[in-house]
Amino acid sequence: MARHRFFVAGTDTDVGKTLVTQGLLEAAKKSGLSCFGLKPIAAGCEKTPRGLENEDARKLMSASSVKLSYQQVNPIALEAAIAPHVAAQMENRKLDGQRVIGFCRGAMMTKADLVLVEGAGGWRVPLNSRETLAMLPKDLDLPVILVVGIKLGCINHALLTVESIIRDGVKLAGWVANQVDPNMSQPSDSIEYLSAAIQAPLIGTVPYLAKVEPHIVADHLQLREIL
């Protein structure tokens, strides 16, 4: 089995990147593939006896079949639940793109059929005054899986993000429609429009779930579309 690596980006924060990443990892395991997920930068971490840890990073570790240390999965943990570059400033730290890339390269030396690197926030989330997290998939040559939160305004957010990904010279491998707003009128119309407008396969439509379970999300994803 060839090794596949992807960067999971979102159109915004709180669109379900972690949930979809978990679902993809669960789908990989169901297909007999070894897999793990990385969350190189995470803000909103909590203090534990082991140091700062992030709930999303722990979720990826739980869904992964290949077990890495917490520090490999989430090497940059920030306490404040705000934009990463601001959280870093509050801790008198500076985020550096090449350092983040180095952490990811080190972790990805571990063999697995599927590796997913989850971003933070949207495509252009800043690392510092010069760099954004978009440099990570570009420098690591990682095709992007885009998570679109289906809510009011999602068409604009999705198309602008797709334009930015392509302009940056990064391949868009596929996208996932994640219905985050249970009260949105006619969500299928937005999904249909985006399916025609985005030149990459729709690899899954995740309905709004009252109880969020990664193995249920996995059943709504077609991992074979990008492998």
The residues annotated with a catalytic role in the active site are 39
Burial environment of residue 16 by CB neighbours within 10 A (0 to 12, 13 to 18, 19 or more): buried
CA pair distance 95, 179, nearest whole angstrom: 32
Q: Computed from CA positions of residues 38, 116, 33, 210, in that sequence, does the dihedral angle turn out positive or negative?
A: positive
CA pair distance 128, 115, nearest whole angstrom: 26
Burial profile 127-165: b = 16 or more Cβ within 10 angstroms, e = fewer: beeebbbbbbbbebebbbbbbbbbbeebbebbbebbebb
CB 141 within 8 A of CB 170: no
The pair of structure tokens assigned to 52 is: 């700062």
Degrees, nearest 5: CA angle 61-66-72: 55
Contacts of 191 (CB under 8 A, 6+ apart): 150, 177, 202, 205
